[in-house]
Structure 1
Amino acid sequence: MKSIRLLTIGLFLFTMSVTFSVLAQERLLSLEDAVSLAVEKNRDLQVSRMEINKTAQKIREAKGYALPTIAASGQYLHYLQRQVTFLPGNFAGLDDSQIATLRVGGTDAYVGGVSLVQPIFQGEIFSGIRAARLAEKLSTEDLALTQSVVVTDVKKAYLNVLISNEQLKLQKQSIARNEQALKDARSLLAQGRASRIDTLRAYITIENLRPDIIRLTNGIEIAKTVLKTTIGIPESEQIELTDSLRYDGVVPFLANATILEEALASRPEVARLVITEKLNAEQINIERAEYLPKFSAIGLIQTQTQANDYRFGDYKWPVSSYVGLQFAVPIFSGFRTAARVQQAKVTKLQTEKGLENVRELIRAEVKIALSKVEESKRRIESQVQTVSTAELSYRITRDRWKQGIASRLDMADAELSLSQAKSNYLQAVYDYLTASVDLDKALGRAN
């Protein structure tokens, strides 16, 4: 019995350990994986895809106006006082100048029928179908625009995690150098070649750096939370980034005119406004159609009966039916149609001006993005030499300090310069990669 109990406990602990290991398993995430995952799971993109499905149903709705409308109707009436028919007086033995009243029909009346209306000519129907198709294209461009924003945000969030990790590494490297300096200061103090103040300064420097470790560690978690939220995965899921913050040095040469043409042709904002302009033109046609006559084929088949009792088997159900054409010509609508046409024209002009403005903004955006890429590239090239010089200066100053030639202050300045140089290089690489992401978005390459 005891062995069975121990076996059960062992199995339970094993199951729990397996469960915790699965829960604690981290998702390895490259930049490409993060983008692909965001395209699939981002909630804004899911809403945009739903909008495409919605506009597809609007096309179906618009086509439905060209199809016949068939309706069945039924009616039951119970007359508390039967209907009255007015007849000339001579029909009831009265004087011709008098009117006779005669109650007719039964106390219960039943009417049932099926009606049909088939539009033959209604100008707004086909304009409405074209407008619905344009609306579907518009929602597709909205999806492309949302995806461009999401992809850009994911890349930047990914880079924010990377730079936070690298900043933490730099801080740990700085602490490691200062810990070595503290160790050297204690050794020199024991040999009588350094003062106690040197060890105190080294110790204080290390302790002043430690709070930044806490801050940067917390910053990494915040950056990961932002990344996970932008991608659309649960905040509780653990992720580990596999890419690194690196500079490849490859900046493709592109003529300014070439990239402007690419941007104007590829940006979803431009495509969206071009489609909106066409949609506004169709809206004008829809409003103008109110001036045109409407022509429809109509039909009705109907049966009715009246009675004073509920002996349904004795009822007579005479049937009447007709087919015909219905013609309606608008004559005057209080200038409402003219006002709506003018509103549609103004909306189209607004879209045209908006398109001109967006094109100018894109030109400026491309120019600024290119400038930032080139500027950060030059900073990187400059900082590479600065880091090498700072590392050499630190090694020389450290050797001189051990020999008693340099002061502890010189040593601290050299370490600070090295940390600053590495931090500046890291920031330049981050700025270059971020500027490259912005350039991709500006050129319409984000998707």
Structure 2
Amino acid sequence: MNHTGDYMVINCINRILFSISMLACILIFLPFTLNGQENETYYFNIDDAILRALEQNNQIKAGEYGIQKAKWDKRRAQTALLPTVTFNTRYTWIDDETYALRDFSRYFRDGGMDSTMPGMNFDIPQTVFQNSFVTSLDVNMTLFNWMVINGLSIASATENAAKYQSNSTRDRILFEIIAGYMNVLYNQEILALQTDYLGLSKLNYDKAVRMQEAGRYSKVEALRWKVDYQQQLSLVENGKSQLRSAKAILRRMLNIPMNALIQVDLQIPDRFITESEKIKLMTAENIIDTINVDDEKLIEINAALKAMESNTEISKLLYKNTYEKFAPTISLNYQYAWRENNTIELDDYSPQTLMINFSFPLFSSFQDYSHLKSSYYEYRQNKELFEDQLKNTRYILTETVNKIINLRTQIELSKTNIEYNEHNYRIVEQQHEKGLISNIDFIDAKLNLQNAKLSDVRNNYDFISAILELYYLLGDLERFIPDYLSKN
């Protein structure tokens, strides 16, 4: 018995150990499996990003669905002018007392009280039944209705507004995609420069520590190199954070999972370089002339303004539509029916009715008038907002052009500044090796060169982004879109 008990205890312990080992394996390998499934890497260039946005961006697809909805709304408005045909059948049951009061034909039937009355040589047909059926075909058609007529104009304007709004959304999303992609490239290039300088600062700091230990550097000089290293380390961490934010924005606009990894092509497309070089060759007056267009032309080329103008037009039509409450309505009704009887079968007698209905409102407790005034002020509100947006667009265009002119000058300055600081750094480096200058002067020369390169990168990317914004506001964003993806 003791051997049997020991065997059962050992068997139970083995099962527990096996279960624990299986659970440990699951806990160890499950995270790797989940990471392999979730952290998918997406590789794409700017053309791939544009294509993905056109195919998968929710706002662009919503705009396309909005166009389809507006088309069907227009068709529905057109059908309001067509006649409607309905088939009607009614069943009625009345109680005995009511039936006796309504049915007079029984007084003219044979027998007793129901015999034919003297002098009556005809029978009155029965028109009231205790159980009765009525069947008819009814045709209704609007002859005049201000709301229906104006509704056609509203439906057409709504369809146009949906198209303009879809184009505006498409241009805005593509502008944000391209700008977001360029922001990723900018942050990656800045981070690469900062990382290189971090490595150099680490080497200089390690060298300073060794020199201090050898008694050739003071503690202040060593701390100065440590401060420089810590500054570079902080810049690198900040650069990584900026790059993560830029990639997160790009993921969001491209409908890529937030936990996915993305790798972008580091090459700036040639068409971007070509446009930037073209702008650099233009004079300031020529650049300013690009925005000298009249209001009508600006509204026509700017998708956002065109969409807003169409919405203002809709509010105007809605305001005019409120006058239908004060206008008459005329409709035509035609009925082809079968006589009411006590069977569902249709008889030979088919009465026909043609009716023209004229309706004119006289008084509605000022509800219609208050609605009219409300619609009017809503239209005026939208019109003022549109005028404000037009002026704001002109202001943004002016600021964008000024930015382009200023950045073009800054790019030339940064190139000269880099050339100067590179030459100065080489001289200072040689003098530092000979012990002719202090560490502080050497670090300052290195930082000046670093800042000059960072400023040059920033100016070039800001210049391309400003050109992109200019063409976006002028409705010419398609020149940055590949031909096979262009809506033109």
TM-score (norm 1): 0.80
Q: C-alpha offsets along residues 51-90 of structure 1, whole Å, 9 cap, x if unaligned? A: 1111111101101110111112222233344443398xx9
Q: Distance in 2 between matches of 1:349 and 1:215?
A: 48
* Paired position in structure 2 for 1:365: 396
- Assess, with a 3 A threshold, how the Cα gap between structure 1 residues 391 and 176 changes in structure 2: closer, same or farther: farther
Give the count of matched residue pairs.
Answer: 414
Q: Distance in 2 between matches of 1:40 and 1:62?
A: 31
Aligned counterpart in structure 2 of residue 385 of structure 1, from 416, 435, 438: 416
Q: How does 1:109-128 map to 2 (within 5 A)?
A: 109-128=132-151
* Paired position in structure 2 for 1:324: 354
Following superposition, the deviation at residue 124 of structure 1 comes to 3.0
Q: Distance in 2 between matches of 1:349 and 1:330?
A: 29
- Identical aligned pairs, as a percentage? 17
Q: Distance in 2 between matches of 1:322 and 1:304?
A: 10
- Assess, with a 3 A threshold, how the Cα gap between structure 1 residues 389 and 256 changes in structure 2: closer, same or farther: closer
Aligned counterpart in structure 1 of residue 93 of structure 2, from 78, 81, 85: 78
Q: C-alpha offsets along residues 403-446 of structure 1, whole Å, 9 cap, x if unaligned? A: 11111222221122222222222222232233223222322233
Q: Is the 8 A contact 2:338 2:346 kept in 1?
A: no
Residue type of the alignment partner of 1:124: M
Aligned counterpart in structure 1 of residue 334 of structure 2, from 264, 274, 299: 299
* Paired position in structure 1 for 2:166: 143
Residue type of the alignment partner of 1:61: R
Q: C-alpha offsets along residues 22-44 of structure 1, whole Å, 9 cap, x if unaligned? A: 985542222x4323322322111
Following superposition, the deviation at residue 137 of structure 1 comes to 0.3
Instruction: Describe the SS at the equivalent of 1:234.
Output: coil
Q: Distance in 2 between matches of 1:257 and 1:389?
A: 35
Q: Distance in 2 between matches of 1:257 and 1:339?
A: 48
1:35 has 2:50 as partner = yes
* Paired position in structure 2 for 1:7: none
Q: Distance in 1 between matches of 2:378 and 2:40?
A: 55
Q: Is the 8 A contact 1:114 1:302 kept in 2?
A: yes
Residue type of the alignment partner of 1:250: K
Q: C-alpha offsets along residues 167-195 of structure 1, whole Å, 9 cap, x if unaligned? A: 21121121232244356657877998656
Q: Is the 8 A contact 1:305 1:318 kept in 2?
A: no
Q: Distance in 1 between matches of 2:264 and 2:206?
A: 35
Residue type of the alignment partner of 1:426: V
The unaligned stretches of length 5 or more in structure 2 are 1-31, 114-125, 479-488
Following superposition, the deviation at residue 134 of structure 1 comes to 0.8
Q: How does 1:336-415 map to 2 (within 5 A)?
A: 336-415=367-446
Following superposition, the deviation at residue 222 of structure 1 comes to 2.7
Q: Distance in 2 between matches of 1:71 and 1:166?
A: 71
Q: Is the 8 A contact 1:39 1:45 kept in 2?
A: yes
* Paired position in structure 1 for 2:460: 429
Instruction: Describe the SS at the equivalent of 2:139.
Output: strand
Q: Distance in 1 between matches of 2:241 and 2:314?
A: 50
Q: Distance in 2 between matches of 1:110 and 1:333?
A: 39
Q: Is the 8 A contact 2:328 2:361 kept in 1?
A: no
Q: Distance in 1 between matches of 2:321 and 2:187?
A: 56
Q: Distance in 1 between matches of 2:299 and 2:327?
A: 39
Following superposition, the deviation at residue 218 of structure 1 comes to 3.9
Q: Distance in 1 between matches of 2:223 and 2:387?
A: 66
Residue type of the alignment partner of 1:402: E
Q: Distance in 1 between matches of 2:136 and 2:367?
A: 36
Q: Distance in 1 between matches of 2:137 and 2:66?
A: 36
Instruction: Describe the SS at the equivalent of 1:62.
Output: helix
Q: Distance in 2 between matches of 1:221 and 1:358?
A: 33
Q: C-alpha offsets along residues 368-397 of structure 1, whole Å, 9 cap, x if unaligned? A: 111111122222221111122222222211
- Assess, with a 3 A threshold, how the Cα gap between structure 1 residues 391 and 188 changes in structure 2: closer, same or farther: farther
* Paired position in structure 2 for 1:95: none
Q: Distance in 2 between matches of 1:45 and 1:370?
A: 29
Q: Is the 8 A contact 1:193 1:404 kept in 2?
A: no
Q: How does 1:157-168 map to 2 (within 5 A)?
A: 157-168=180-191
* Paired position in structure 1 for 2:123: none
Instruction: Describe the SS at the equivalent of 2:291.
Output: helix
Following superposition, the deviation at residue 238 of structure 1 comes to 3.5
Q: How does 1:4-403 map to 2 (within 5 A)?
A: 26-30=42-46, 32-81=47-96, 82-83=98-99, 84-85=101-102, 105-182=128-205, 185=208, 198=221, 201-202=224-225, 205-244=228-267, 248-251=276-279, 252=282, 254=286, 256=288, 258-261=290-293, 263-303=298-338, 305-307=340-342, 317=347, 319-334=349-364, 335-403=366-434
Q: Is the 8 A contact 2:327 2:361 kept in 1?
A: no
Q: Distance in 1 between matches of 2:232 and 2:288?
A: 46
Residue type of the alignment partner of 1:127: N
Q: Is the 8 A contact 1:74 1:110 kept in 2?
A: yes
- Assess, with a 3 A threshold, how the Cα gap between structure 1 residues 237 and 272 changes in structure 2: closer, same or farther: same
- Assess, with a 3 A threshold, how the Cα gap between structure 1 residues 104 and 116 changes in structure 2: closer, same or farther: closer
Following superposition, the deviation at residue 339 of structure 1 comes to 4.2
Instruction: Describe the SS at the equivalent of 2:409.
Output: helix
Taking only aligned residues, the RMSD between alpha carbons, in angstroms, comes to 3.6
426-435 vs 77-86, greater mean Cα deviation:
77-86
- Assess, with a 3 A threshold, how the Cα gap between structure 1 residues 404 and 21 changes in structure 2: closer, same or farther: farther
The unaligned stretches of length 5 or more in structure 1 are 1-15, 93-102
- Assess, with a 3 A threshold, how the Cα gap between structure 1 residues 404 and 426 changes in structure 2: closer, same or farther: same
* Paired position in structure 2 for 1:99: none
Q: Distance in 2 between matches of 1:343 and 1:320?
A: 50
* Paired position in structure 2 for 1:13: none
Q: Is the 8 A contact 2:339 2:351 kept in 1?
A: no
Instruction: Describe the SS at the equivalent of 1:320.
Output: coil
Q: Distance in 2 between matches of 1:236 and 1:192?
A: 51
Q: C-alpha offsets along residues 238-283 of structure 1, whole Å, 9 cap, x if unaligned? A: 3322244697443155364552325343112332344344434433
